[in-house]
Chains A and B, each alone.
Chain A
Amino acid sequence: MTRTALLWVARHALAIALALMFLGPLVFIALTALMSDRQALTSDLWPHTWNWGNFAEIFAKAPLLTWIRNTLLYSLLATAFMLVSSIPVAYALARFRFRGRRLAFLLVITTMMLPPQVVAVPIYLIWARFHLTGTLWPLILPMLLGDAFSIFLLRQFLVTIPRDYSDAAKVDGCGELRTLVRVILPMARPAIAAVALFQFFYCWNDYYGPLLYAGTDLDNWTLSLGLAAFRSVHRVQWNLTMAATLLAMAPVIVVFFFAQKVFIEGVKLTGVK
């Protein structure tokens, strides 16, 4: 009995230590964001004065609103386009019997796994030919043609829905497309929510894509790009840099608290069973 009690204490002590380790950096970032310039250069952990004005200052010093707008536009459009194009593909891969079905699925996984840098040069040249480099469109438009990761995730979920449901709908006289929209999509809502959130956050956090395409005009930048360059503009002002960092994290953290279950289910889907 004492052995199990000891074990219980040890486990919880370890878990609390880990929790501090995982949360610590976020807390330090938040605290530094509220320090004065001078104090942020010391190794103090607690702000002497709470400088809420730092947040107003970062908006005055950098076109943050423009960057937020661009990031939102990129994330929202890319997510909407991805859903429209990827759902039918995932549905066909999960439900239809056709020649080359397995090959198609294998190719989806292959494209999902290959580093984007492998095909970056020719794709960049395509967009340059259409004079779309220097904008975020090269990151948004391809989503109309499906996204391998989302297709994979949706397909993994759709194969778990028993066939009886679509068979029943067919007996009731539903066509294929109606069955998809009326029967399958409502049942797949958790998976759709998960891929939509993953896509949205991928875009919100994306750095490589905008670095490649957004160009040198600050008006086309996203939050990630601006953030990476922020410190070089305001060299030693760690407090402002951390305030901007916190600003980029905040929406992610807030949405996560409301949609935890969706995320966790989504991550589980990525693991093979």
Chain B
Amino acid sequence: MRGNLRALLYLSPWLAGFAIFFVYPLVSTVYFSFQRYDLFTLEPVGLLNWEYFLKDQAAWTAIRNTLWLVVVMVPLRVLFGLGVAQLVTRLKAGVGVYRTIFYLPALVPLVAGTLGFVFLLNPGTGPVQAILSAVGLPAPDWFGDPAWSKWGLTLLGLWSVGDLMVIFMAALLDVPKQLYEAAAIDGANGWRQFTSITLPVIRPVLMFALVTGVIQTLQYFTQAEVTARVASGATDSAGSVFTPGYPDQSTLTFPQWLFQQGFRDYAMGYACVLALVLFAVAMVFTLILLRQFRFAEEES
């Protein structure tokens, strides 16, 4: 009993935070989702916000875009991160230098990195364009053409893959050496060793990277917001002139639409509907992740 009280004391800051910034807002979000609320007047509207959601074209476009990033960008980042990690762990010399260089972009401020990328990929003046046309390749209008804008964001995501690389490197170095030696004696080549030893051993870390990648992508905001703002040439910075998603809503993500509804158009009740949809989806992936933690806990 004394132990419980002592634990309660140590946990008290977090417990207070949990109640104020998690439980209470979550309950309020449900409440507001049945209201029309614009910061001044609060009016119960029943299921109207929910019905509106089903017909909201922009919301569905945002869902499709976010889904695109989940299906294309997340696996590409995981594959690329794993490939880079595999390469670096195999180099005998200069591992530290390479690791440093490859991790650096993951640290660069998102806004700064994104601005840099819009500049680099800029069709008129960007060096990438110059290099592509120098070797005779067509250079797409990355952030001005709806067919390419999400690929532009994906390139940015691949560039900052360093965080995944470090996690994968740690996992790869943990694979017992004897397994490889035994496999080599049995005549297994590099690829065979990778698929039948490396992959099974690092599977939990791969799962972890995939699921956290999905959860991060459900929050995808800054990069899409900044590219759209810069590529569209929006002159307004904090008011309502800027509409996210440029070009043609192709980079509009779900969190951006939520932000637009709640904090630019002050449709707060409707924003709460969007928040609950996001909650439901994020919760599914969080539960998958929690299962993994439970396994890890039980092993130790």
Contact code string B192-213 (vs A, CB < 8 Å = 1, else 0): 0000000000001100110010
User: Is there contact, CB below 8 Å, between A271 and B7?
Assistant: no
Quote the shortest CB–CB distance from B20 to chain A (angstroms).
Answer: 7
Q: Considering the chains assembled together, what is the distance between the CA atoms of A246 and B108 in angstroms?
A: 10
A contact residues around B68 at 8 Å (CB): none
Q: Considering the chains assembled together, what is the distance between the CA atoms of A6 and B292 in angstroms?
A: 40
User: Is there contact, CB below 8 Å, between A120 and B91?
Assistant: no
User: Is there contact, CB below 8 Å, between A96 and B290?
Assistant: no
Contact code string A93-128 (vs B, CB < 8 Å = 1, else 0): 100111101101011111101111111111111101
Is B167 at the interface (CB under 8 A from chain A)? yes
User: Is there contact, CB below 8 Å, between B14 and A108?
Assistant: yes
Decide: A119 near B275, CB < 8 A? Known: A145-B20, A227-B112, A238-B119: yes
User: Is there contact, CB below 8 Å, between B21 and A15?
Assistant: no
Is B136 at the interface (CB under 8 A from chain A)? no
Q: Considering the chains assembled together, what is the distance between the CA atoms of A113 and B281 in angstroms?
A: 12
Is B104 at the interface (CB under 8 A from chain A)? yes
Stretch at the interface among A36-44, A53-61, A161-169, A182-190: A36-44
Quote the shortest CB–CB distance from B230 to chain A (angstroms).
Answer: 6
User: Is there contact, CB below 8 Å, between A268 and B166?
Assistant: yes
User: Is there contact, CB below 8 Å, between B25 and A88?
Assistant: no
Count of A interface residues, CB-CB < 8 Å: 102
Residue of B32, B112, B124, B300 with highest tally of chain A CB at under 10 A: B112
Decide: A146 near B14, CB < 8 A? Known: A96-B6, A121-B29, A267-B166: yes
A contact residues around B116 at 8 Å (CB): 25-26, 28-29, 242, 245
Q: Considering the chains assembled together, what is the distance between the CA atoms of A201 and B104 in angstroms?
A: 13
Interface residues of A in 9-33 (CB under 8 A from B): 11-12, 14-15, 18-19, 21-23, 25-26, 28-29, 32
Stretch at the interface among B70-78, B93-101, B140-148, B176-184: B93-101
A contact residues around B292 at 8 Å (CB): 272
User: Is there contact, CB below 8 Å, between B230 and A118?
Assistant: no
User: Is there contact, CB below 8 Å, between A144 and B120?
Assistant: no
Is B47 at the interface (CB under 8 A from chain A)? no
A contact residues around B296 at 8 Å (CB): 272-273
Contact code string B1-20 (vs A, CB < 8 Å = 1, else 0): 00110111011011011101
User: Is there contact, CB below 8 Å, between B14 and A89?
Assistant: yes
Q: Considering the chains assembled together, what is the distance between the CA atoms of A144 and B17 in angstroms?
A: 8
User: Is there contact, CB below 8 Å, between A23 and B101?
Assistant: yes
User: Is there contact, CB below 8 Å, between B18 and A111?
Assistant: yes
Residue of B6, B17, B272 with highest tally of chain A CB at under 10 A: B17
User: Is there contact, CB below 8 Å, between A116 and B219?
Assistant: yes
User: Is there contact, CB below 8 Å, between A264 and B119?
Assistant: no
Quote the shortest CB–CB distance from A30 to chain B (angstroms).
Answer: 10
Interface residues of B in 283-300 (CB under 8 A from A): 283, 285-286, 289-290, 292-293, 296-297, 300
CB-nearest residue of chain A to B161: A22
User: Is there contact, CB below 8 Å, between A224 and B258?
Assistant: no
User: Is there contact, CB below 8 Å, between A117 and B26?
Assistant: no
Partner pick for A22 among B13, B104, B271, CB 8 A cutoff: B104
Is B246 at the interface (CB under 8 A from chain A)? no
Partner pick for B226 among A21, A92, A117, A207, CB 8 A cutoff: A207
Decide: A207 near B222, CB < 8 A? Known: A15-B88, A42-B125: yes
Q: How many A-B residue pairs have CB under 8 A?
A: 292
Decide: A96 near B29, CB < 8 A? Known: A256-B104, A271-B208: no
Count of B interface residues, CB-CB < 8 Å: 108
User: Is there contact, CB below 8 Å, between B259 and A114?
Assistant: no
Is A65 at the interface (CB under 8 A from chain B)? no
B contact residues around A12 at 8 Å (CB): 91
User: Is there contact, CB below 8 Å, between B29 and A109?
Assistant: no
User: Is there contact, CB below 8 Å, between B107 and A22?
Assistant: no
Residues of A within 8 A of B (CB): 8, 11-12, 14-15, 18-19, 21-23, 25-26, 28-29, 32, 40-43, 45, 85-86, 88-89, 91-93, 96-99, 101-102, 104, 106-111, 113-126, 128, 142, 144-146, 151, 159, 176, 201, 204-205, 207-208, 211-212, 215-216, 223-225, 227-233, 235, 238, 241-242, 245-246, 248-249, 252-253, 256-257, 260, 263-264, 267-268, 270-273
20 further A-B contacts with Cβ under 8 Å, apart from A142-B17, A235-B233, A242-B115, are: A15-B91, A15-B98, A19-B101, A21-B159, A22-B159, A25-B113, A29-B119, A43-B127, A96-B6, A111-B22, A113-B215, A115-B215, A116-B219, A119-B25, A120-B271, A123-B21, A205-B110, A232-B237, A233-B237, A249-B108
Q: Provide 30 A-B residue pairs closer than 8 Å at the C-beta atoms, listed in order of the A residue.
A: A22-B102, A23-B101, A25-B120, A25-B159, A28-B120, A41-B124, A43-B130, A92-B7, A92-B10, A113-B286, A118-B26, A119-B22, A119-B26, A119-B29, A124-B262, A125-B28, A146-B13, A146-B17, A207-B225, A212-B263, A216-B238, A224-B110, A228-B226, A241-B115, A252-B109, A256-B104, A260-B100, A267-B103, A272-B293, A273-B174
